[in-house]
Amino acid sequence: MKPQRIARGLARRFAPVLAALLLVPTLCAAQAAPEASAVLRRIADGVYLREGRHEPWGAGMRGPVANGGFVVGRRCVAVIDPGGSLAEGRALAAALRRVTPLPVCHVVNTHGHPDHVLGNAAFDTRPASGAAPEFVGHHRLPAALAARGPHYLNALRRGGNATDERIVPPTRLVHDTLELELGGRTLRLRAWPTAHTDADLTVLDSASGTLWLGDLLFDGHLPVLDGSLRGWLDVLGQLRTEPARLAVPGHGAPSTAWPRALDAQERYLVRLRDDTRAALRAGMPLEAAVERVAPAGDARWQLVDDFHRRNVGAAYAELEWDE
C-alpha cells in the first residue's frame, strides 16, 4: 500500500478517535468548587451577558466557560445559552430574577455543545408547574443531543454529584429563519449550514443590533472545529452581511467592530485549511501533520494545547477527500 494510502487509512481510522475526543471533554483534576454565579453584564438596553472564562468544559470547571445571557422585552424574556450545568442555569435564572419579574418565554441554544446546553434544565419547569418556556434550536440539534447527550452527562457524573443533570432538547426547531417576538423587540434566529458544528444558530436582536453568534465566533479562546472547515469559512463570509452593531461570540468579549470581529478567527481557519492541505499534498501522515501544522500566530489564542491538534486532525479528515 502506498504511503499516501496508508496515511488516508489512518485518517479514516483516527477520525472516530478525534470525534470521541470532542465527545469526552477534558476532565480537569479536582479544583475549586464550581462558582456557578458569574458576573452579569448589561451590554445593551435590555441585553445581559454572562461571560464565560477560557477553560475546557468538564467536571472540574470553576464556573461558566461559554457566554450566555438573556434579552428582555416588554412582554417576556428570551434566554440564550444558559450554561454548562444545571447549577449554571440556576445561577443565570437567579440573576435574571434580579433584573426583571417578566416570564421567560424562550430558551435558545446556539448549538449542541455541553457548555451551552446543560443549563437548559434549570428553565424546564414542566415537572413542577406543567408549563415551561419554548426551547428553541437548529433543526439538527435534537439529533446532536441524542447522539452526544449521554456522554456529556457521564462526563459530569464522573466528576461527582451531578445526578440531577439532564438534557433538555428543543421543543421548537429552526429550519431556516424564525422570529421570536418579546414585546417591543424581535429576535431573528437563523439556522446555518454545517460550520462550527452541524447545528449552529445565530440570534439577532432587532432593537439593539446585538448579534449572538454562539461558537461561530471565538475571541481569545482558540476556535474549535467540530463541523466543517470549508463550511465554516463559507458561513463566515455570509455572516459579514448581518446588520449587527454588537457581536457576542460564544467565547470571549463582545465587540462593536463588526464585521472585523471575524477577522482573527478567519485567519486562523484559512491557515489551518491551507497548511493542512499542503501537508496532505506532501503525503504527510496524519500523526506528523497534527504535530507540524502550527496555529496562525497573529492572535494570542488561549487553549492551543487543548484544541489545535484536534482541529488539525478534523481538517485532515475533511480535506483528504479533496486531494
**Cβ closer to Zn ion: 25 or 46?**
25
Taking the mean position of all CA atoms in its chain, how far away is CA 222?
12
Q: What angle do CA 273, 51, 144 make, to 5 degrees?
A: 55
DSSP per position, 2-34: -HHHHHHHHHHHHHHHHHHHHHS---PPS-SPP
Q: Which stretch binds Zn ion (CB under 5 A): 15-23, 109-117, 238-246, 255-263?
A: 109-117
**Minimum CB distance to Zn ion smaller for 287 or for 306:** 306
233: CB partners within 8 A, 6+ apart: 266, 269, 270, 273
Q: Name the residue nearer to Zn ion (CB basis): 113 or 140.
A: 113
CB of 200 to Zn ion, least distance (A): 9
DSSP symbol at 152: H
Site for Zn ion in 194-233 (CB under 5 A): 215
In angstroms, the CA 58 to CA 60 distance is 5
Nearest distance in Å: CB 211, Zn ion: 17
Shortest Å, Cβ 223 to Zn ion: 9
The DSSP string of 119-133 is GGGGG--HHHHS--P
Question: What is the nearest approach in angstroms of Zn ion to the Cβ of residue 99?
Answer: 26
- With respect to Zn ion, which residue has the nearer C-beta, 205 or 215? 215
Pick one of 8, 90, 106, 113: the residue that binds Zn ion (CB under 5 A): 113
- CB nearer to Zn ion: pick between 115 and 318: 115
Largest CA distance in the chain: 68
Stretch that binds Zn ion, among 13-21, 111-119, 138-146, 257-265 (CB under 5 A): 111-119
| CB distance 284 to 265 below 8 Å | no
When asked if residue 310 is in the footprint of Zn ion (CB under 5 A), the reply is: no
> What are the residues binding Zn ion (CB under 5 A)?
113, 215
